[in-house]
Chains A and B, each alone.
Chain A
Amino acid sequence: MIDLIHVSKRFGAAAAVNDISLSIAEGELCVLVGTSGCGKSTTLRMINRLIEHSEGEIHIDGQQIRRFREEALRRRMGYAIQSTGLFPHWTVARNIGLVPRLLKWPAAQVQARVEELMELLGLSMEQFAGKYPHQLSGGQAQRVGVARALAADPDILLMDEPFGALDPITRESLQDELRELQARLHKTIVFVTHDMDEALRLADHLVVMHQGRIVQQGRPLELLREPADDFVESLLGGEDRGLKEAALLPVSQRMRPLSPRLLARERIGQHASLREALSLMLWRHAERLTVVDDADMPVGELSLRRLVGERSDD
């Protein structure tokens, strides 16, 4: 879907991005993570040509991005940024309809699409459509920003630290919403962040960048278990690594079938993470949890030994 082949970007003599190659599959949520100045934002902005790459080739669907007109290329990709960049003199509805109008959709279709997106992102039409950006909270504004990015139903979504300026609670709920949206929409998403927890929560494909280069890429669990070097290891949280890994594994992977024994009193959903299970055990002083399905029916049990135990089944 998106291929970067030996891409570099130089500003004068300094290389902001140095010979990176990266292939992002269709429907994948790829997170670029690294410290400030590592070149992750530059990489993102080269994909929609807000920054022109100096060397190498960038392909979208097998075609070089330089073969498209800049504007046409950008209208095919959603773009959401940390400061939202909502137009302060336009209402929420008008902001969301921007790209469809640029693509000259008929007015009725734009209107219908705006309503659809506002519903998708949990913004009630009568409450928000006529509001101006300064009347929104940070989380609401960022939802509008994401809705605007999705407006013309692009296959690709570029997100530059979209949740970076939000408080932790709003940030987590928007991360969850993004995951849910992604499960439904299957966009190809490139997401830039410096927050490793956010990266681990969201990524299908995690790319760690340092000083303009890619130091390691792969699935989040692979990186956690086998960090390529000390830098990746420290970025992945050193002593918190066990908890970070537990946060990526669902309870259903470690539970065992219901035994004839009495059900444990404390319950946990099968889609919850091992980290949540461990937290519940610590909090309730319980060594055993009953695992329940979405309908709250017991489907298995999880002991502390199983939780920390064998890795044979993953």
Chain B
Amino acid sequence: MTDPRRWLVPMVWLALLLAATLGMGQLEGLFRWLESDSRQVIYARADFLTLLGRHLLVVSVAAALAILIGVGAAIAATRPWGRDFLPLVSQLASIGQTFPPVAVLALAVPVLGFGTLPIIVALLLYGLLPIVRNTLAGLAGIEAGVMEAARGMGMSRGQILRQVELPLAAPVILAGIRTSVTINIATAAIGATVGASNLGDPIISGIVNGNTAYVVQGALLIGLLAISVDSLFSRLPMSGAR
């Protein structure tokens, strides 16, 4: 269980990500070959480490809110008093995902102004569905006999939720969170269009100025970040799994 080698792959990806973030300048020759017309080939309006930090912050805040709301809503909709809301909850979550994040941004900016807030709202809505859907599936997948025994032994509803339902549903819920976070790392880049400074900046700026090197730099870092986080998730201990 505590084999240090299980963390090897995520560590390699993280190291690559860090190396690319700090050492982008070293690759100037490569980018000059790629984009020989431009005077400047390394994005320099902000350093990559700052952009990476902001990118992570936006995704983390959105993910934390999505987990809180998504898991909370799914739990509420499976309690005896909330069962009437079950169809509503799953429909709302589906609508959240079919609504394109760009459209959410367009609608959110007039209300929330430019900056980080609109992109957090967009990511939150976009990331809810996998979490809600997987939490519902995880809770529904628990064997009926286990629930019957838990009640029959005299566990309270809170004890059943904490000691039985959540641990048993945990692997499925975590898989939903993993999907949600990985998608949102990529989606967060569009925040750059409404003034949220993150790893989307070099991409947008590259598109606007016709500088392929900028686009590649932004895309490279976002890709590495997504792979690193995804591979970290895949190594998380699954308390309910065997």
Within B134-179, the residues touching A (CB, 8 Å) are 143-156, 159, 163-164, 167-168
Given contacts A75-B154, A132-B242, contact A89 B149 (CB under 8 A): no
Partner of A99, one of B154, B156, B163, B240: B154
Q: 1/0 per position for B61-72, CB-CB distance to A under 8 A?
A: 000000000000
How many A-B contacts if CB must be within 8 Å? 69
The size of the chain B interface, using a CB distance under 8 A, is: 22
Q: Are B154 and A71 in contact (CB under 8 A)?
A: yes
Asked if A92 lies at the interface with its beta carbon under 8 angstroms from chain B, I say no
Q: Which residues of A contact B143 (CB under 8 A)?
A: 83, 85, 88
Q: A244 to B146, alpha carbons, bound, how many Å?
A: 36
Q: Which residues of B contact A145 (CB under 8 A)?
A: 149
Q: Are A89 and B154 in contact (CB under 8 A)?
A: no
Q: Which residues of B contact A88 (CB under 8 A)?
A: 143, 146, 168, 240, 242
6 A–B contacts from the bound complex (CB under 8 Å) = A84-B145, A87-B163, A87-B164, A89-B168, A89-B242, A158-B152
Within the complex, what minimum Cβ distance (angstroms) separates A132 from chain B?
Answer: 6
Q: Are B152 and A81 in contact (CB under 8 A)?
A: yes
Q: 1/0 per position for B184-220, CB-CB distance to A under 8 A?
A: 0000000000000000000000000000000000000
Q: Are A85 and B145 in contact (CB under 8 A)?
A: yes
Q: 1/0 per position for B117-149, CB-CB distance to A under 8 A?
A: 000000000000000000000000001111111
Name which of A71, A134, A145 has the most chain B CB atoms within 10 A of its CB.
A71
Partner of B153, one of A74, A83, A84, A134: A74
Asked if A166 lies at the interface with its beta carbon under 8 angstroms from chain B, I say no
Asked if A286 lies at the interface with its beta carbon under 8 angstroms from chain B, I say no
Name which of A50, A88, A102 has the most chain B CB atoms within 10 A of its CB.
A88
Q: 1/0 per position for A86-113, CB-CB distance to B under 8 A?
A: 1111000000001100100000000000
Closest 4 CB pairs of A and B: A85-B149, A83-B145, A74-B154, A75-B154
Partner of B146, one of A50, A85, A134: A85
Asked if A148 lies at the interface with its beta carbon under 8 angstroms from chain B, I say yes
Asked if B38 lies at the interface with its beta carbon under 8 angstroms from chain A, I say no
Asked if B36 lies at the interface with its beta carbon under 8 angstroms from chain A, I say no
Within the complex, what minimum Cβ distance (angstroms) separates A109 from chain B?
Answer: 18
Asked if B239 lies at the interface with its beta carbon under 8 angstroms from chain A, I say yes
Q: A85 to B168, alpha carbons, bound, how many Å?
A: 13
Asked if A72 lies at the interface with its beta carbon under 8 angstroms from chain B, I say yes
Q: A82 to B144, alpha carbons, bound, how many Å?
A: 12
Q: Are A102 and B149 in contact (CB under 8 A)?
A: no
Q: Are A89 and B152 in contact (CB under 8 A)?
A: no
Q: Are A79 and B153 in contact (CB under 8 A)?
A: yes
Within the complex, what minimum Cβ distance (angstroms) separates B70 from chain A?
Answer: 22
Partner of B149, one of A70, A71, A75, A79: A79
Q: Are B152 and A99 in contact (CB under 8 A)?
A: no
Q: Are B240 and A89 in contact (CB under 8 A)?
A: yes
Q: Which residues of B contact A82 (CB under 8 A)?
A: 145
Q: Are A84 and B242 in contact (CB under 8 A)?
A: no
Q: Which residues of A contact B159 (CB under 8 A)?
A: 102
Name which of A72, A74, A145 has the most chain B CB atoms within 10 A of its CB.
A74
Q: A73 to B152, alpha carbons, bound, how many Å?
A: 10
Q: Which residues of B contact A273 (CB under 8 A)?
A: none
Known A86-B149, A87-B164; 11 more pairs at CB < 8 Å: A75-B153, A81-B149, A84-B145, A85-B145, A85-B146, A85-B150, A85-B152, A88-B143, A88-B146, A88-B168, A102-B155
Within the complex, what minimum Cβ distance (angstroms) separates B163 from chain A?
Answer: 8
Asked if A48 lies at the interface with its beta carbon under 8 angstroms from chain B, I say yes
Given contacts A84-B145, A89-B239, A89-B240, contact A79 B167 (CB under 8 A): no
